[in-house]
Chains A and B, each alone.
Chain A
Amino acid sequence: MDIDDILREVDPASHGIPLETRDLQALTRLWVAERSAPELLNWPADGLFERVNSKIKSQIERIEDMTGDMDPKTNFALIVIQTELERYKFLVRSYLRTRIAKIDKHTLHYLSTEALRQRLSPTELAYATRHQALLHNHYLSSFLSSFPQRLQNLNDTAGNVSMIDSPDLDTAVFVRLLRDKDVYGKGTDVDTILPAANGDVLIMRWSSAKGLVEDGDAELV
């Protein structure tokens, strides 16, 4: 079974799957989506990461318990668990780092409105605020403080040029449809409406795909 099968199986209706499996699937999906989307996506609000963290903790403890055992059978199980743990940790790490990279790139943009701030987790918000303050201080002490007062801002929008850089929402992303739907895509010359079936993979602008992904009609690949 490869990752696509796993992802396809994710269905809110399937309560037969244990919570742990669903968490892992949710994490994998979040990771894939975060890596392909040009802008920062919402931080999962349902306590997914608290659960993931406690799982990792308990696995680490389990490994510590098992290490003392010299039985070759446990040794084998140990390797399996450790490998799984490393992979789990990699998913979380890569996910968090991707988010941090995006936040660092467009800090002021994500701090500018309340709606955008909501996308960050509390720790990320603290990090972003502090990082921006550090940067501003650095600029100030390096050169900005000797500038005339009205040129000291970092968020000027005068002259139709905003100093706040924001992510390009029109970049292309690949999405896979999760149900049959007519997909509306914005084009360079003409907008098109394309009938697409469940499982189709399309390439389209993120600005057009965003709604589909948020409604659960499609997922990023």
Chain B
Amino acid sequence: MYGDLGIKLVQHAKRTQNLAHLPPYQTELVRAVTREVRDLNKDVDDLLEPFQGSFDPSEDQAIAYTLLVNHISMRRNKRCLLAYHRTRTDKLEELVWNGVDVVDLSGQQVRDAGASRGNTGVASGDGSTSSLSPQEEDYVRQYGDLLAAYKGQWTDIDLTGSLEPPRDLFIDVRVLKDAGEIQTEYGAITLTKNSQFYVRQGDVERLIAQGYLQKLS
């Protein structure tokens, strides 16, 4: 049936919205839907060919309806594809904004997602099982550059910083992973695992986002 594959893509997209990580790119499905569009277009051309551009819908209604259904199916497939890709790029952009490392993003996020949910079963670090398509990797890289360029206009603000209104200048943090030594205005602090510090929020924001520190309320 026309459109069966398209709806699968949309279902994938819908599921992606609620996931913490990005599921693998559906190369096969995308290819199949694209093929369907090409086939439909070929059908349309074949149907129209004998008329040499002088087709009158009211004379041959059966063909007119076939054409209509084909056209609508093509458009629908296109929408499905666009929606699927847009959902994924939105997700990727979010990751870029959150400062996830772009270079080893593909393998890392699967591991990250696994770690945050506490199950160790999912581990696919090598590039061959990347959940991004090559085009998506390109896109992420370019978007990262674009974002960096835009952020460069506002160097003092740190656009990717926290969107929570700042309440206190200093906060309590607990170190979850060894992060080495950091420099602050009040001297150097060595962050060793399980230790606790009272530090300036601005100094450690990055580390909190990267999961090295945990903010204590």
On A, residues with C-beta under 8 Å from B are 53, 56-57, 60, 67, 79, 82-83, 86-87, 89-90, 92-94, 96-97, 100, 104, 123, 126-127, 130-131, 134-135, 137-139, 141-144, 146-148, 151, 154, 159
Contacts and interface: CB of A to CB of B under 8 A. Distances in A.
B161 A148 contact: no
A63 B155 CA distance: 17
A87 B166 contact: yes
Given A86-B201, A143-B81, A147-B34, A53 B166 contact: no
B89 interface: yes
Given A82-B200, A131-B146, A147-B34, A138 B135 contact: yes
Given A139-B85, A148-B41, A97 B163 contact: yes
Contact of A134 (B34, B81, B146): B146
A127 B85 contact: no
Contacts of B202: 82, 86
A123 B150 contact: yes
B85 A142 contact: yes
Nearest to B164: A90
Nearest to A145: B34
B102 interface: no
Contacts of B33: 143
Contact of B82 (A57, A93, A139, A159): A139
Contacts of B66: none
Interface stretch (B114-122, B136-144, B206-214): B136-144
Interface in B122-156: 133, 135-136, 138-139, 142-143, 146, 149-150, 153-154, 156
B105 to A, nearest CB: 15
Given A86-B201, A96-B157, A127-B150, A151 B75 contact: yes
Nearest to A80: B169
A141 B75 contact: no
Interface of B: 30, 33-34, 37-38, 41, 74-75, 78, 81-82, 85-86, 89, 93, 133, 135-136, 138-139, 142-143, 146, 149-150, 153-154, 156-159, 161-163, 165-166, 168-169, 185, 200-202
Contacts of B78: 147, 151
Given A86-B169, A147-B41, 5 more contacts: A89-B158, A90-B162, A100-B150, A139-B85, A159-B75
B169 A93 contact: no
25 contacts: A53-B154, A79-B169, A82-B169, A86-B166, A87-B165, A89-B157, A92-B154, A92-B157, A93-B157, A94-B165, A96-B154, A96-B157, A96-B159, A123-B150, A127-B146, A127-B149, A137-B139, A138-B135, A138-B136, A139-B85, A142-B85, A142-B135, A143-B30, A143-B81, A146-B38
A56 B156 CA distance: 7
Contact of A93 (B89, B138, B159, B168): B159
Contacts of B81: 139, 142-144
B166 A90 contact: yes
Contacts of B161: 89-90, 93
Given A96-B157, A138-B89, A146 B143 contact: no
B135 A135 contact: no
B30 A134 contact: no
B37 A151 contact: yes
The 8 A-B pairs of least Cβ separation, nearest first, read A86-B166, A148-B41, A138-B139, A141-B135, A83-B169, A127-B150, A142-B135, A143-B34
Contact of A147 (B37, B163, B200): B37
